[in-house]
Amino acid sequence: MQPNQTPLITGRTHLTLLLLSIIYVFSYIDRNLIAIVLEPIKQEFGVSDTVMGAVSGLAFAILYSAVSLPLSRMADRGTNRRNIVAVCCGLWSLATMASGAVTQFWQFVIARMTVAIGEAGGTSPSVSMVSDLYPPHRRSLAISLFMLGPHVGLLAAMALGGWIAQEYGWRSVFIYFGAPGILLALLLYIFGRDPGLGVYDTDAERAIREQPQGNFWHDVRDIMQVKGFFLICMGTAIAGMVGYGYGIWAPTFMVRNFEIPLAHAGLIFGLSSGIFAAAGSIFSGYYCDRLSTKDSRWQLRMPALGVIISIPFGCAFVLWPADAIWQIGSIKVPHAIMFAAGFSFFNSWWATLSYAAVSHLVNSSQRATSLAVLSLFLTLFGAGIGPLLTGTFSDMFSNGNDGDGLLYALLLMLSFLVFSAWFYFKAITPYQQHIADVKANNENNNVATSGNSASATT
């Protein structure tokens, strides 16, 4: 492609985004299926809440963290990102199916860690591809559509997973949800398209990308020194810690506190949280694109505000009287589910907008690596520490009453969102300064490039 040629957005562009989005849906399903079958797995193998919290989070996070950065480095160095995602999708899908075939607890742990190896090559290369499929002024919306994956995945995992577990056993859940990923990997490999790195870069950004690349850890160090980047990572990490802890344990809380069947808890929580989180993700991406074109600070103001507004909704869900229910046929629907829906709508803003913010902070040759670093913070704190910490608090507070112990654990976890919002607000000024510096530098380099071209012509 010539430097001044504008890339075309074609049907294949949209098809690639669609396939990546569906793969991300199954990535999130396969990662979080354990949430809906946590209680029967715990009972079968006779382990504590703390152990289940570690397996559902820390076992996944360790290998994900170790593998994600090298794979993202490959994506930033020109390896076809479509192929990376397709191969990794096939791997984590097979590992998910293996999770349902185990007979010993240690085998289950290994299978879950293998899922992490595959998923380590999914998110960052995918977001990097999406950032190159569409121009910058459409990037937040495109990423928000891709980031529907966790919310649609939550809906499917909770609503269908609970029913499958109740009817056919918890092992069938992993087998049924793992199989479609193999087909999706083939479809992406055949029909997907990697547009190439930085196709919407300016001449100045392209010149930076074409410079000789340094040592991997030096590049990571340079990314960490970008103004506002570390603060965004910390805001995302703490929000993820709370979000994963809440999302993994909320269905179990509903079973214990509201005394409803597992299938009903999954259906009610999945529908309410999944639908409203998807709506919040689309709303935040669309509205942030409009606001950020006039003032870049809104790229971080919106996730900070979303986190703050979500706190009272989350607390109301946990504290609402357990006997306040609607009876819809044979299904008991707690009044508290309204607040779970509100929490999901506002708490969905931070993930979409954090990934979009980081994609604007760095050049295209750093994008997948920077997104992997962000995912590293999210995975270690979120998927790794969040469920474990929630389970540990639940054991600490239980005193023989699991329902009350988990209630206090979730309240304590929700309080940490205050620190997440603080980091986002703290990042606004350095983020705005860096965006302004990059814009000014690009304009100066473009002027210099135009001047050199004119001199050469003369």
Q: Could you tell me the two tokens for 17?
A: 């985004």
Domain boundaries of the chain, sorted by first residue: 12-205+215-450
Under DSSP, is residue 22 helix (H, G, I), strand (E, B) or coil? helix
Taking Cα atoms as reference points, which of 91, 84, 153 lies closest to residue 118? 91
The reported pLDDT for the residue numbered 222 is 78
Predicted pLDDT of residue 364? 66
Q: Residue 208: its pLDDT value, please?
A: 54
The span from the CA of 423 to the CA of 407, in Å, is 26
CA–CA dist 445, 246 (Å, integer): 47
Written as one letter, the residue type at 164 is I
- The per-residue pLDDT for 195 is 84
Task: Give the tokens for residue 342.
Answer: 């509100």
Rounded Cα gap, residues 438 and 40, in angstroms: 53
Per-residue model confidence (pLDDT) at position 64? 80
> Which class does domain 12-205+215-450 fall in?
mainly alpha
Residue 44's alpha-carbon distances to 47, 52, 314, in angstroms, are: 8, 12, 30
Nearest to residue 27, comparing CAs of 341, 379, 385?
379
CA 141 to chain centre: 15
Residue 203 has a pLDDT of 60
| The two three-digit tokens of residue 104, written as one number | 């010993």
**What's residue 49's pLDDT?**
72
What is the spatial distance between Cα 160 and Cα 169, in angstroms, rounded to a whole number?
12
Q: What is the pLDDT of residue 207?
A: 58
Hey, what are 144's tokens?
């928000």
101/103 Cα distance (integer angstroms) = 7
Separation of alpha carbons 451 and 458, rounded Å: 11
With H, G, I as helix, E, B as strand and everything else as coil, classify residue 254.
helix
Q: What is the pLDDT along the chain (458 residues), one digit of tens a residue?
A: 444 445 567 788 889 999 998 998 888 888 778 877 877 888 888 887 777 777 766 777 777 877 887 887 788 777 888 999 999 999 999 999 998 888 888 888 888 888 888 888 887 788 888 888 888 777 777 877 887 777 777 677 777 887 888 788 889 999 999 999 999 999 999 998 888 876 766 665 565 555 555 566 777 787 888 888 899 999 999 999 999 889 888 888 888 888 888 778 878 887 888 889 888 988 888 888 888 778 888 889 999 999 999 999 999 999 998 888 888 777 788 999 999 999 999 999 998 888 888 877 877 667 777 877 888 888 888 877 888 888 889 888 876 555 588 899 999 999 999 999 999 999 999 888 887 876 776 566 555 544 554 444 44
